[in-house]
Amino acid sequence: MHRTRVSRFAALGVAGATAVAGLGVALPSASADDAGRYSTKTPTSRGFGGAVTSVDPEASRVGLQVLKNGGNAVDAAVATAAALGVTEPYSSGLGGGGYFVYYDAKTKKVHTIDGRETAPASMPRDAFIDKSTGKPYNFTPELVTSGVSVGVPGTPATWAKALREWGTYRLAGALAPAEKLARRGFVVDKTFHQQTLDNQTRFEAYTSTPRLFLPGGTAPRTGSVFRNTALANTYRALGRKGVSWFYRGPIAREIAHNVQSPPKSSTTALPVPAGHLTRRDLAGYRALFRTPTYAKYRGYGVWGMGGSSSGGTTVGEALNIMEQFPLRRLSSTQQLHVYLEASALAFADRAKYLGDPAFVKIPRATLLSDRYAASRACSISLTTAMPKPTTAGDVRKYDPTCGGTSSTGTTARRDTENVETTNLTVTDKRGNVVEYTLTIEQTGGSGLLLPGRGFLLNNELTDFSAVYDAADPNRIQPGKRPRSSISPTLVLRDGKPVVALGSPGGSTIITTVLQMITDRIDRQLSLPQTIADPRGSQRNTAAVSAEPEFIEKYGAGLQALGHPLTPAGDKFTSASEIGAATAVAFKRHGYLVAVSEPRRRGGGSALVVRPSR
């Protein structure tokens, strides 16, 4: 088997194929699949002893090997995330941030790390206003392709903190498989090829980025091998020298320099506004422990990510609203109707109340209380959709008996979040669980490749509202973390994991997680059905944004209730998908069902340590 793999590699002309035997990580399986990857994609796996699921077969395989080598869920999660930085460099990597949720089987406690990117200390409130016009920059490609959108990356600090706190590997050990993957290369599939094409103009705005991602002036061919030696060297140095090398050493210096003076190409028509990050901003960065959010839903405990992400609070509030209705007794159209309405209400509150807790007082206890949910549910009729955008509730004055009004003014703001990012779920033989969503914001982030280092810098600061409004909890403020929608979620019963799940997709992350939870608990779909189910997303906008299959399957019934539906996607990407999620279900006697996408984003890979037949 081993020899077959090596010779297959050699047959495809991969340099260093003979050195493959010494890698110490599992090599890809024998043949490239239809999409051109070596590793076979396995959307669902069942079995025992631990599981890893991600959108990428190479990354899942790396994580699985760490588990097989005796590493725990945290070790495997960091190794998988580092591998995703190689194979999904437009969705995640050292230049970005994310949120890490960890369930400790021994103590039965949920812990979370906020590794969100942070604004520079000198970020002006009008950072996103074009001085030449006095108006905000057009969002994409103009604003996102910039130094001004780059926040201090949180991912390296998150990995180091998680390993230090709960891991058994050192950083170097957790990064080693990804380093080898970057050196050896991976086979370009259609998704990577298309994402590169979608970003061509943005990448060409810089002198550094095309050298790696547009070799010969265009996207790497599907089926070709893509190597990133610079990233391999960066992982090696980071492992050896530790995170201070990143935050206080040469990388900090280089990030500050390139953000303040982006390596702009002389031929680009894009403005590429410069940013404000300094070495001091990088030196001051900390990944933070946060108190997880908690909501009780039909006997299950739903744990999620608190501020600076809006994910856990918004998911929890919407679930509490949905709990006011006997969903199991309703038709599937009515079930979806309640889900969409609850989501719109929770998004109205998200816009009014949620932001970085270091800057905003978040009324979390109220937003997650059943009484407040009961008051919000008063606006839902089972026969007619409410007009949208709807208004936020008043957390100081509300009536759970539906006696009076409890809303404030409309606070809907333009939603500019993109549909990418990446997510992984890992569990080990002891029952520890990691749910981790990481991102560089847009597909391709700021488009700025740190010269010679092999990773892209994020554009996460564009998750702030573009126009300053003193009443907006997500307004730009120096040193602040922009509000996220990332929602890594653990569903427990009696303190034990039932399902762990998460998704990419900007603000649709919240609705994807919600829809999956209601699909599983209320509609009683199996986990593989839940992940495959077509998605619709109502984020307090006039129309429900939906996948074409959702419109086909549920559109007529929902339209009859007054929900306009519009196809998901935007003019800048070819994707009309919502959320390439991952999840693991925990059954009796340690039996695991690990799922990844069967279809979205080219399909993912879910693997278990000991498969059952």
Would you please indicate which residues are annotated as catalytic (active-site) residues? Answer: 421
Interacting positions 136-175 with ligand GLU (CB under 6 A): none
**Shortest separation between residue 600's beta carbon and ligand GLU, angstroms:** 13
**Shortest separation between residue 403's beta carbon and ligand GLU, angstroms:** 36
**Shortest separation between residue 128's beta carbon and ligand GLU, angstroms:** 15
**Shortest separation between residue 418's beta carbon and ligand GLU, angstroms:** 4
Residue 415's closest CA among 582, 570, 563? 570
Any known ligand binding at 37? no
Closer CB to ligand GLU, 420 or 435, in the complex: 420
Any known ligand binding at 29? no
Closer CB to ligand GLU, 428 or 460, in the complex: 460
Contact assessment for residue 315 and residue 302, using Cβ atoms and an 8 Å cutoff: yes
- Measured distance CA(381)–CA(567) in Å, rounded: 25
Specify the DSSP element, H or E, that contains 288: strand 288-290
Closer CB to ligand GLU, 92 or 234, in the complex: 92
**Shortest separation between residue 159's beta carbon and ligand GLU, angstroms:** 18
Residue 547 has which token pair?
């996948």
Contact assessment for residue 20 and residue 184, using Cβ atoms and an 8 Å cutoff: yes
Any known ligand binding at 463? yes
Q: Does 349 bind ligand GLU (CB under 6 A)?
A: no
Q: Does 356 bind ligand GLU (CB under 6 A)?
A: no
Closer CB to ligand GLU, 173 or 506, in the complex: 506
Any known ligand binding at 394? no
Closer CB to ligand GLU, 28 or 154, in the complex: 154
Name residue 511's amino acid: T
Closer CB to ligand GLU, 72 or 421, in the complex: 421
SS3 436: strand
Measured on CA atoms in the order 272, 276, 278, 280, is the torsion positive or negative?
Answer: negative
- Compute, in degrees rounded to 10, the torsion defined by CA atoms 80, 85, 91, 92: 80
**Shortest separation between residue 416's beta carbon and ligand GLU, angstroms:** 9
Closer CB to ligand GLU, 65 or 484, in the complex: 484
Contact assessment for residue 501 and residue 582, using Cβ atoms and an 8 Å cutoff: yes
Residue 14 has which token pair?
């991969």
Binding residue for ligand GLU, selected from 504, 528, 536, 555, defined by CB under 6 A = 504
Q: What is the DSSP string of 89-131?
A: TTT-STT-EEEEEEEETTTTEEEEEEE--B--TT--TTTTEET
Interacting positions 404-443 with ligand GLU (CB under 6 A): 417-421, 439, 441
Q: Does 463 bind ligand GLU (CB under 6 A)?
A: yes
Q: Which stretch binds ligand GLU (CB under 6 A): 316-324, 380-388, 501-509, 593-601?
A: 501-509
- Measured distance CA(582)–CA(230) in Å, rounded: 29
Taking the chain, what is the end-to-end CA distance rounded to the nearest angstrom?
21
**Shortest separation between residue 579's beta carbon and ligand GLU, angstroms:** 9
Closer CB to ligand GLU, 53 or 439, in the complex: 439
Contact assessment for residue 90 and residue 104, using Cβ atoms and an 8 Å cutoff: no
| 248-287 footprint of ligand GLU as x/- string (CB under 6 A) | ----------------------------------------
Would you mind telling me the total number of residues written for the chain in this entry?
613
Task: Please tell me the number of Cα atoms within 13 Å of 311 on its side-chain side.
Answer: 37
Q: Does 198 bind ligand GLU (CB under 6 A)?
A: no
Any known ligand binding at 453? no
With contacts defined by CB under 6 A, how many residues of the chain interact with ligand GLU?
16
Closer CB to ligand GLU, 60 or 422, in the complex: 422
**Shortest separation between residue 421's beta carbon and ligand GLU, angstroms:** 3
Q: Is 331 exposed, middle or buried (0-12, 13-18, 19+ CB in 10 A)?
A: exposed
DSSP 478: T
- Measured distance CA(91)–CA(39) in Å, rounded: 20
Q: Which stretch binds ligand GLU (CB under 6 A): 331-339, 483-491, 542-550, 586-594?
A: 483-491
SS3 266: coil
Q: Which stretch binds ligand GLU (CB under 6 A): 73-81, 129-137, 224-232, 500-508?
A: 500-508
**Shortest separation between residue 139's beta carbon and ligand GLU, angstroms:** 13
For residue 53, the cross-strand partners are 425, 606
Q: Is 91 exposed, middle or buried (0-12, 13-18, 19+ CB in 10 A)?
A: buried
- Three-state SS sequence of 494-557: CCEEEEEEECCCCCHHHHHHHHHHHHHHCCCCCHHHHHHCCCEECCCCCCEEECHHHHHHHHHH
- Measured distance CA(387)–CA(84) in Å, rounded: 41
**Shortest separation between residue 458's beta carbon and ligand GLU, angstroms:** 8
Binding residue for ligand GLU, selected from 484, 515, 541, 596, defined by CB under 6 A = 484
Contact assessment for residue 581 and residue 529, using Cβ atoms and an 8 Å cutoff: no
Closer CB to ligand GLU, 417 or 533, in the complex: 417
Q: Does 485 bind ligand GLU (CB under 6 A)?
A: yes
Binding residue for ligand GLU, selected from 113, 486, 498, 592, defined by CB under 6 A = 486
Cis preceding linkage at 534, omega within 30: no
For residue 158, the cross-strand partners are none
Q: By the criterion CB under 6 A, which residues form the site for ligand GLU?
A: 417-421, 439, 441, 460, 463, 484-486, 504-506, 509
Binding residues are 116, 463, 484-485, 506
Binding residues for L-glutamate are 116, 463, 484-485, 506
